[in-house]
């Protein structure tokens, strides 16, 4: 298997992260996440330098507690988000084209009609698997945190 199958810039890999994010977001909030949150969640999930902050927390920690414990997450966040726009857009396009993701009429992004297989995620090497787990954790935290405006405000950025 070629490494590029798991590279963070690969649209299929980004789609796996977004699917995990959407699944967890919906599980805790019973609604789909606002589309703009994909451009915040996926770059954070793909940021391996944040791994320690995720390892030292749990799904019950919550978004605001995580940000209070690790305020450096906000450092250079704007640059991180700008640098990843194309990666997120490609992942969204791929997810939509494969029907793993769907756009909803209310401006949210959710799971599509095609279910993503679990086996490829569980068979990933540790580093990419951790990225998907971070996306899922962010889905849980953001799903409990409230609106997209509240979430972006907590990070100190505007959508």
Identify the band that residue 119 occupies on the pLDDT scale cut at 50, 70 and 90: low
* CA pair distance 117, 23, nearest whole angstrom: 13
**E strand or H helix that includes residue 23:** helix 11-29
Q: What is the pLDDT of residues 62-109, one digit of tens each?
A: 999 999 999 999 988 999 999 999 999 999 999 999 999 999 999 999
SS3 75: coil
Instruction: Kindly tell me if the per-residue pLDDT of 45 is higher than 70.
Output: yes
When pLDDT is averaged across residues 124-132 and rounded to a whole number, the result is 85
pLDDT at 1 > cutoff 50: no
Report the percentage of the chain scoring pLDDT > 90: 74
pTM given for the model: 0.90
- The more confident residue out of 159 and 139 is 139
Q: Residue 61: how many CA atoms within 13 Å on its side-chain side?
A: 18
Strand 101-103 vs strand 109-111: parallel, antiparallel, or unpaired?
antiparallel
Which stretches of 30-159 are DSSP H helices?
Answer: 38-45, 51-55, 63-69, 77-83, 85-97, 119-122, 126-145, 148-155
pLDDT at 42 over 80: yes
> Longest Cα pair distance anywhere in the chain, in angstroms?
41
pLDDT greater than 90 at residue 138: yes
Residue 5: what pLDDT?
A: 41
Cα-only R_g, the chain: 14
128/48 Cα distance (integer angstroms): 9
């Amino acid at each position: 298997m070629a490494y590029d199958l798991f590279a963070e810039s690969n649209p299929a890999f980004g789609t796996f992260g977004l699917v995990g994010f959407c699944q967890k977001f919906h599980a805790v909030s019973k609604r789909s996440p606002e589309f703009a949150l994909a451009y915040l969640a996926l770059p954070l999930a793909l940021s391996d330098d944040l791994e320690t902050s995720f390892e030292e927390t749990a799904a019950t920690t919550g978004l605001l507690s995580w940000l209070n414990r690790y305020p450096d997450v906000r450092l250079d966040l704007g640059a991180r988000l700008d640098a990843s726009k194309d990666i997120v857009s490609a992942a969204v396009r791929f997810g939509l084209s494969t029907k793993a993701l769907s756009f909803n009429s209310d401006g949210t992004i959710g799971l599509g009609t095609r279910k993503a297989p679990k086996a490829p995620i569980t068979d990933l090497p540790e580093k990419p698997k951790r990225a998907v787990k971070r996306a899922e954790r962010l889905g849980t935290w953001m799903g409990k945190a409230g609106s997209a405006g509240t979430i972006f405000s907590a990070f100190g950025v505007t959508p």
